[in-house]
Amino acid sequence: MSDQVVNLNEYQELAKKALPKMYYDFYAGGAEDQHTLKDNQEAFHRITLRPRVLVDVSKIDLSTTVLGYRISAPIMIAPTAMHQLAHHEGEVATAKAAAACDTIMILSYSSTCTVEEIYKTRDVSAQLVQRAERNGYKAIVLTVDTPRLGRREADIKNKMIAPRLKNFEGLISVEVSSNEGSNLEAYARNTLDDSLSWKDIAWLRSITKLPILIKGVLTREDAIKAMEVGLDGIVVSNHGARQLDYTPATISALPEVVEAVKGKIPVLVDGGVRRGTDVFKALALGAQAVLVGRPVVFGLAAEGEKGVRRVIQMLKDELELTMALSGCTNVNGITRNHIRTQADRFQSSL
């Protein structure tokens, strides 16, 4: 099947055919009007490329380093929930694909496989962190944009039924029922911690020696605060447009965060990446790497581990071609001068 798929959008169509409507809507949907969901991709379309010519591009190196770990390309797998809804092997298949592609996977705490196989109480969080550390995980990524679950209307209409989350078995009750809306929504009300604040970073630091990144930053102010409390990296993210609608597209928020950080800690970005040109644009705006979420799940739903490998490989192939046609021989050669944003066009018109 994969030899007939030529881009990531076609994997989404295959996943739509393969999955029950409830599960497809869970993966594909966003919050409320889904304005940000659309804009996450459309904002990339508004950025144009400025290629350089007559450059020797006979040898191109896609590799980069994130937190000291070398990966084959600046394309990582974002934390996404409940992969066993997409494929029976779940996150295990996704992790195998990440290893085969020589890249990094961020495992969601809401995975349907345990940390060994591949919120409200601090002792539960501590046990999850310590289990991750014991099992060789290399960093902790703290998602900070979910004090409460966003209003995902497709899940409410479908009365989304979430599977048991194995990471929490034996720690908290994994049995949640709800007569209204989705049981996912009810589960979130029982587990998400809306008291989480900047002061809790010190507590998290006290229980692990691993680097800590936060995911969900969209503003200069929060980027500066992240550095002040000693975090090791930032993921510019709007949670795949699943939390607060009408937040900026992540690629639009990226320059503000990069400018605030000034190279002191790595900045990653997720949301809306569907093409190698999108990866190129994110790197040109200062991201060290991109995280890919929905396309990975869609590849998993269509073809399991093979589909995930194909998703990552297609992005790598497209990125290499974009670099060649833009006159860049390595990722460090991708600069702000290689793109033109709407702000650039506005400035030039003054």
Which of the following is catalytic: 83, 87, 239, 338?
A: 239
The C-alpha atoms of residue 104 and residue 291 are separated, in whole angstroms, by 9
Note whether 248 and 236 are within 8 A (CB).
no
83 is catalytic: no
Q: What is the largest CA-CA distance in the chain?
A: 65
- Residue 204: CA atoms inside 13 Å, Cβ hemisphere, count? 25
- DSSP letters for 256-297: HHHHHHTTSS-EEEESS--SHHHHHHHHHTT-SEEEE-HHHH
What is residue 168's DSSP assignment?
A: G
SS3 298: helix
Determine the residue type at 294. R
Q: In sequence order, what are the beta bridge partners of 212?
A: 140
Q: How far apart are alpha carbons 232 and 66 in whole angstroms?
A: 11
Alpha helices in 19-83 (DSSP H): 21-28, 35-45
Sign of the four-CA dihedral 274, 277, 280, 286: negative
**Catalytic sites, residue numbers:** 239
